[in-house]
Amino acid sequence: MEQRADLSEKIEQNLPCEVVQDLLPGYVDELTSLVTNEMVKEHLESCSPCKEKYMRMKCPVEQEMENSKEKIELDFLQKTRKRNRKVLFASVAIVWLFVVLILGIRYYIAGKTMNAEYLSCGLSIQGKELTATVKSTSGQGIRSINIYEEEGVVEISVTGVTKSIFFDDEKETTFTSSEAIRQVWVGDRILWADGEPISPLTANLYALYNPYVGNMPFNGKLVRALNLTAFTGNFVNELQTKQQPYSWKMILEKDFSSSRQESMLERLPKYAYLLLSQIGNLDEVVYEYTIEGKPVSLSVTSKQATEYAGVDIKTVGQDIVLLEQLVRKTGLSNVMTYAALVESNAQVDDSMAGEVDRVLGFVVVNYTENEICGMNITVESDGATGHQGMTNADHTALQNGLNVEFQLLPEDFTKEFTDGEPGKITLSVVTSDGEVIPVQGEVTTDLIWGTKVRLNLSGNSDTGYFLGR
C-alpha cells in the first residue's frame, strides 16, 4: 500500500501540464480510467491554468447536454400537441360527417310526409280503380306515394325529399280498392267524393265548418278561405247573438265607385250564401258600404240562401257534395283562394267564364320572419292605378309559408288600360299593431286579364321586407 501511494505521488509530481491538457478531452467526456481521472483531478486542484482550460472545455458540453434535454422535451410537447390536434380535427370531421349523413338521409333518402297544401293531384277513378298523378308545388321531389283504403275511403300520403335526378317533383301511381271508391283524401284535404271532384275552396270551407257564429276566430278563417277582403277591402265586424235571428254585419271601410255597384250586388250575396252554409246558427249576413259617399245596406238571409241552393242551406255545410255544388253555382270555385295550393279537376261553371277572364290575380307567398296581419297591393299601368288590401278579420297573424291571393277587377282601377301592358306591382304590410310598412322592391310584368302572377314576400321588421318573383 505504501509503495502504491508513493508511486501515485511520484507520478503526480512528474505529471506535466502538457500531459494533463492532452488528457482533458477524454477526461471531460469521461473516457479516461479511474487512475487517470484521479491524477488529473489532483492536478487540476493545484494547477490554475489547467483548471481554467478544463472549465472552458466542460461548459459547452454541459450546455449541449442541457440543450439536448430541452430539445427532447420540446419535441415531445410538439408531437403531443400535433397528435392532440389531429385527434381534435378527426373528431370534428367525424361529427360533421355524421351530421351530414343524418341530414342527407333525412332530406335525400328518408324524407318526410308532405303537407297537402303543397301538392297538386290529378285523379282518374273508375269504380275500384284509382290513378293518381301527384306533383309537388313547393319544389321538392317525391320519393313515394302510399295509399290506404278503408270502406271505400282512400287516403293518399306523399313522402317528399330534396329534388334530384333520382326523385322528380311529379309521380304517378295506381291503386285498386277493396270496394267502390267513395272518397279520396290527401292528408286532411278531400279531393273527390261520390263522383264529384272537390275544388280547393270547397275543401277549405268544408274543413272550417263552424257551428256557432259567436266563434269569431273561425269566422275569420272562413273569410280568409273565401278571400273575401280581396273583393271588399277591410271591414269592421258586428255580431248580433243575443236573440234570433243571429246576424253578422260587415261594415266595409272602402268607398266604392258607382261602376262597382253592379258587381257588389252580384258577388256579395254569393259570399253570404257560403257563409250561411258553413256557420251553423247564422241566420243573416248584412253588408254596409258606401257608393260614392251614399250608404248602402244589403241583407242576405238563410231563407234566400236556401232558395238559391235549392236545398236547406243548413244541410249543405256538412255535406261535401252539396257544398261543392253550391260553390260551383256561385262561380266562386274560380276565385283564387287564400292558402289553397291543392288543385283538382273540378269542373268550371261556363256561365262565370267571362267574369273570370276579367280578373287580375296575384299570389303572394308569405316568407316573412315576423308576424304580419295584412298586406296591401298596388298595381300601376299606363296611368291606371289599382289598389287592394287584405287583413285577417280576427286580426291574427298570416301564417308563414302560405299564400295570400288578391283579385283585381276592372272597377278596381282608376281607368282602363290596354290588356298586356307592362305594369308595376308594389306591396306594403300591416303589422299586429296596425302599422303599415312599405315593402322594398317592385315587380314589373305584363298585365293580362285572366292570369295570375306569383310573388314572394320575405324579410323582417329589422332589415326590411322585400318583394320578388
Dihedral sign for Cα atoms in the order 38, 44, 50, 53? positive
Please give the C-alpha separations between residue 467 and each of 23, 265, 288, in angstroms, as whole numbers.
Answer: 95, 34, 34
In which element (H, E) is residue 360 found?
strand 360-366
- 199 occurs within a structural domain: no
The total of structural domains in the chain comes to 4
- 200 occurs within a structural domain: no
pLDDT in tens, 448-459: 776 778 888 888
Are residues 433 and 349 part of one domain? no
Nearest CA among 114, 119, 113 for reference residue 344 = 119
Between 212 and 361, residue with greater pLDDT = 212
Nearest CA among 216, 112, 130 for reference residue 173 = 130
- 171 occurs within a structural domain: yes
Cβ proximity of 387 and 358 under 8 Å: no
Are residues 160 and 287 part of one domain? no
pLDDT tier, 108 (very low <50, low <70, confident <90, very high otherwise): low
Which residue range forms the structural domain that includes residue 151? 113-194
Are residues 295 and 376 part of one domain? no
Are residues 348 and 369 part of one domain? no
Average pLDDT of span 152-181: 89
- Dist CA 432 CA 437 (whole Å): 11
The pLDDT value given to residue 250: 95
Are residues 343 and 220 part of one domain? yes
pLDDT tier, 28 (very low <50, low <70, confident <90, very high otherwise): confident
Other C-beta atoms closer than 10 Å to the C-beta of 33 total 9
Cβ proximity of 417 and 241 under 8 Å: no
Are residues 244 and 167 part of one domain? no
The pLDDT value given to residue 341: 30
Query: Of 26-40, 316-330, 386-400, where does mean pLDDT reach its minimum?
Result: 386-400
pLDDT in tens, 263-314: 889 889 999 999 999 999 999 999 999 999 999 999 999 999 999 999 999 9
Between 35 and 185, residue with greater pLDDT = 185
Q: What is the b/e burial string over 147-171, where b = at least 16 CB atoms within 10 angstroms of the residue's CB?
A: bebeeebbebebbbbbbeeebebeb
Are residues 324 and 211 part of one domain? yes
The residues pairing with 272 across neighbouring beta strands, listed in sequence order, are none
Are residues 363 and 347 part of one domain? no
pTM of structure:
0.56
Amino acid identity at 285: V
pLDDT in tens, 372-404: 888 899 999 988 999 888 776 556 677 666 778
